[in-house]
Structure 1
Amino acid sequence: MPVAPRTLPAAVLVIGLLAATPVLAAPPTDLDTRVEEAMSRFGVPGMAVAIVEEGRPVFAKGYGVRELGGDAAVDADTLFLIGSTSKAFTAAALAVLVDDGKLGWDDRVIDHMPGFQMHDPWVTREITVRDLLVHRSGLGLGAGDLMFVPRTSRSREELVEALRHIKPATSFRSGYAYDNVLYVVAGQLVEEVSGQRWEEFVRDRLLRPAGMARSTTLDTDLYATPNRVQPHARLDGPIRGTGNQQTLDERAGLPQVTAPAGLIASSANDMAQWLSLQLGHGALPDGTRVFSEAQAREMWTPVVPIPVSPLPEPIAATTPLFSSYSLGWNVRDYRGVRVIEHSGAVFGVQAVVVLVPERDIGFSLHINSEDGAVLRGLQYELLDHYLDAPDTDWIKAFGDFRQARVDGALQALQATAPEAKQSRPSLPLADYAGRFRDPWYGPMEIRQERDGLRIDFQNTPDMEGTLSHWQYDTFRADWDDKTLEPAYVTFALDAEGHVERVTMKAVSPIADFSFDFHDLLFTPVRGEE
């Protein structure tokens, strides 16, 4: 059931500007109403908004509750995980090291990390610090994410070690494909060059100098902070994103080793400081400089074009004329104006950070659920406000777009459902059991138990599930942890009728790309088939 948002006056922080620096446009007068309507419409428990104008925070506020069914209100100091908007912080950490003279953007990674390897030796020799951040390495979309989604027992160093086993999808620097794993490498590079763990370096050289006193880089610090949101998602429908909103176990989310790609936690007040720092090209309004103006320009300079496909109605007008990726940021246009932005989604929490440098405004939006239509809708309503464009109900438009995608996915699932007369597996169930290994993920085991087959991803704590026959030699894996996307598991047999390899793919046509089951190729562990 949708939760009626609670709004407390005490949660409001509106900072007046000095008369010497007048605001060109105030926040929308109906912003509270639009936020509360959107939250109610989509059942979002809690939200936070920060707005900066002319380089100074003018608005920071929390809405709703930290946890579904609770009464603890979200305020301007409530911590949210900010997902992949953390990537801009990792890029900024490297920018600080460039300012320190300890590395250069076009230095080869192996000059600072001699043990680093990609699958292709030539790419290993040539890949640069800049390449780590711009999604042009040749890896496929989300390649390697299952090494740490949803969890892992591996260290950051071990994730970097496993990278050499991931085969490229395209040639080096030939195109754009978003990844997370190379930001984990970038985090390890920060440690190799600075002598500090990424967590401490980002805290000491970015967050604290920027005045982001409450923001955290460590999950243990987040859990120790009472004023934090809980993640929420819809898991009990036919596919993730449908059904009833429910609270997730926050400690079952992504592991600390992936923090450089997406696990910073921050608040509306602190994100206002980050927006001010960005719009100040590395300096805060009081003159405090965190990184140089030269590095600020580098981080906003487009590097890799992102292919643009026309978006359908009712969101067609948001299709950019150009789109590109810079160092931790997307750079694109909207209504003829350059927009620098990044979104983030991580285990029941979502965020978007938006900068319009030519208008000297920026804002961040955060929710403690996976109902992204709220973020995108409010993003474009705020952009229209500051660009003096006609009012559009973008919240409804993105909601309708999302519903159309869900309806299409459900229809696709129905179309692929096995016919009433099921085929039979080729082998007795016991013959599918065994130990298997994928070169980059590692070990997986299939066991026959009293109630049938079980699958166990052994480098991912608690990623176990039940295999039920689907059709032919394909089974469906339904995980004990319902936050994980179900997957089809297909066994290929050799001429003697033994399992030769195992491949997988997500059941849902709109599953998050981080569930990159399709990149796995398991083969039997010799002598243990």
Structure 2
Amino acid sequence: MAGEQAPAQREAVWRQQMAMTVSKRQREWSRTHFAAYGYGWRLSDADGLLKVSHTGTLMGMYSLVTMLPERRSGFVVLINGEAGEARSVLDQVLSERYTTPARTRSVAYYADALEREAQAPAAKRAPDTSKRTAIAPAALRGRLGLYRDPWFGEATVCARDGQVEFAARKSPLLAGKIVSVGKRLLVDWSADEVDAEAWLDFAAAADGAVTLTLAKVDPDADFSYDYEDLAFVRVGDCPGGESRP
């Protein structure tokens, strides 16, 4: 019975649930026409064949699982280090061994392609945020306080040592000073391990509540920094007045 159920279960988790943007790199490297998310898997076509994959990213550890069902093949990549580009190159080269075995593009070929990509001017790059000014608590009066996102939990935007700090209660690494860059606010994370900074935007809801949303400063940052999915609402004052707890 289990053997009979497996194909149906596999078809269910590999069914497209959410469309994803096909990147320029996917089009050029693999002639990809579609990309989507299933139940826990990324789905796409590579050189005309179905590709089922997912990455894993944690500080100092990068991984990849790729399956090519029509070739009854797959592979796993485990890297003990910060190596996102190496993972991309290995995924491409190993995939091609099954999708287009006659193609002779090497690791060096794709490493050089990434180098050219990094050096080429692009419209979608992180803006210059080098000119930063610390925000005084008085500038955010009425917006300081305790915020809550239904999924992520609580975070504070509170005064500390004459400045303002954002701090997530359940994620200690997500804490840093709020600074202004031009007309926008940005969180300058204190921890070096957090390499994707976030814009902060305050707004007023229809019922008068103060809301807070975050967005990646670098639009090309790893998708796992899904700040855009958070929807904070102010639910109270800063604990102990305007000071961070």
Q: Same fold (TM over 0.5)?
A: yes
Q: Which residue of 2 aligns with 1:510?
A: 220
| 1:372-395: CA deviation from partner (whole Å, max 9, x where unpaired) | 332332333233334431201355
- Kindly report which structure 2 residues correspond to 1:342-357, keeping only aligned pairs within 5 A, or say none: 342-357=54-69
Closer/same/farther in 2, CA of residues 470 and 342 from structure 1, 3 Å limit: closer
Letter in 2 for 1:380: Q
User: Structure 2: which 5+ residue stretches go unaligned?
Assistant: none
Closer/same/farther in 2, CA of residues 427 and 362 from structure 1, 3 Å limit: closer
- In structure 1, distance between residues paired with 2:220 and 2:23: 19
| 1:87-110: CA deviation from partner (whole Å, max 9, x where unpaired) | xxxxxxxxxxxx6xxxxxxxxxxx
| 1:63-112: CA deviation from partner (whole Å, max 9, x where unpaired) | xxxxxxxxxxxxxxxxxxxxxxxxxxxxxxxxxxxx6xxxxxxxxxxxxx
- Counterpart secondary structure, 1:303: coil
- In structure 2, distance between residues paired with 1:340 and 1:307: 14
Compute the RMSD of aligned alpha carbons: 4.0
- Kindly report which structure 2 residues correspond to 1:91-490, keeping only aligned pairs within 5 A, or say none: 292-296=3-7, 298-300=9-11, 302-304=14-16, 306=19, 309=22, 311-312=24-25, 316-323=28-35, 328-386=40-98, 387-393=100-106, 395-397=108-110, 400-401=113-114, 404=117, 408=122, 411-414=125-128, 428-429=138-139, 431=141, 432-472=143-183, 474-484=184-194, 485-490=196-201
Which structure is higher in helix share? Answer: 1
- In structure 1, distance between residues paired with 2:217 and 2:37: 30
* Higher relative contact order structure (alpha carbons within 8 Å, sequence separation ≥ 6): 1
- In structure 2, distance between residues paired with 1:330 and 1:321: 14
Closer/same/farther in 2, CA of residues 516 and 363 from structure 1, 3 Å limit: closer
Report the identity percentage.
23
- Is the 8 Å Cα contact of residues 310 and 319 (structure 1) preserved in structure 2? no
- In structure 1, distance between residues paired with 2:140 and 2:69: 62
User: Structure 1: which 5+ residue stretches go unaligned?
Assistant: 1-98, 100-290
- In structure 2, distance between residues paired with 1:443 and 1:437: 4
Closer/same/farther in 2, CA of residues 311 and 464 from structure 1, 3 Å limit: closer
Closer/same/farther in 2, CA of residues 403 and 451 from structure 1, 3 Å limit: farther
- In structure 2, distance between residues paired with 1:427 and 1:512: 31
Closer/same/farther in 2, CA of residues 417 and 449 from structure 1, 3 Å limit: closer
- Kindly report which structure 2 residues correspond to 1:34-49, keeping only aligned pairs within 5 A, or say none: none
- Is the 8 Å Cα contact of residues 31 and 47 (structure 2) preserved in structure 1? no
Between Structure 1 and Structure 2, whose CA radius of gyration is higher? 1
TM-score normalized by the length of structure 1:
0.37
- Counterpart secondary structure, 2:76: strand
Which structure is higher in strand share? Answer: 2
Closer/same/farther in 2, CA of residues 342 and 522 from structure 1, 3 Å limit: closer
TM-score normalized by the length of structure 2:
0.70
Letter in 2 for 1:404: E
